[in-house]
Amino acid sequence: MAHVGTRPAPPAEAADYGGTPPTPPAQPADPDGPPPRPKRRRIAAWIVALLVLAALGAAGWYIGHSAPAAAAVGDCVQQTGADSLTIVGCDNPAAQFKVAGRLENRTMVDAGLFACSAFPTATSSYWEGKQGETGIVLCLEPVKR
């Protein structure tokens, strides 16, 4: 016979309605430590990007300052190929020519014919520009040692 008004006890496997949720089982410790924080990764990526940009800027500055188009009267140059020059210091043993004159808006034909006639010490000329357009002419004299 059953008692009226009493509830039977819940089975042992039923959830606890009034307590705290069960804790998950403990995880083994990670031998490498906790994963890096995303914020640190982002900062590291920015630092790397800034270093790459700085290196590219320095390379561009160096190329721009050693290019023949940047040469001024009095600068010394070294021939680095059949049709190429690089600005070097006049005290550099590799310096072969000194810029005696610089002319703007000249064609390649001008450079080969008469562009440097106003510079009597010039023994050769160097033209830089786009084919069929105007460019610069450097009138070059040998470096005196």
What is the secondary structure of 22-33 as a DSSP string? PPPPPPPPPTT-
Mean of pLDDT values over 83-99: 89
Residue 61, phi-psi category: left (phi > 0), alpha (psi -120 to 50), beta (remainder): alpha
The arithmetic mean of pLDDT across residues 79-85, rounded, is: 82
| Phi-psi sector, 38: left (phi>0), alpha (psi -120 to 50), beta | alpha
Instruction: With respect to residue 53, please indicate whether it lies within any of the assigned structural domains.
Output: no
Residue 83 has pLDDT above 60, yes or no: yes
Domain carrying residue 73:
68-142
Does a structural domain hold residue 41?
no
Q: Is residue 7 part of a domain?
A: no
Q: Give the residue-averaged pLDDT of 21-40.
A: 66
Residue 5 lies in a domain: no
Range from 16-20, 28-32, 74-78, 133-137 carrying the lowest mean pLDDT: 16-20
The pLDDT assigned to 142 comes to: 93
Looking at residue 141, its pLDDT comes to 93
Count of domains forming the chain: 1
**pLDDT number for residue 1:** 47
In this prediction, residues 9-36 reach a mean pLDDT of 61
- pLDDT of 72: 86
Confidence band, pLDDT 50/70/90 cuts, at residue 66: very low
Residue 51 lies in a domain: no
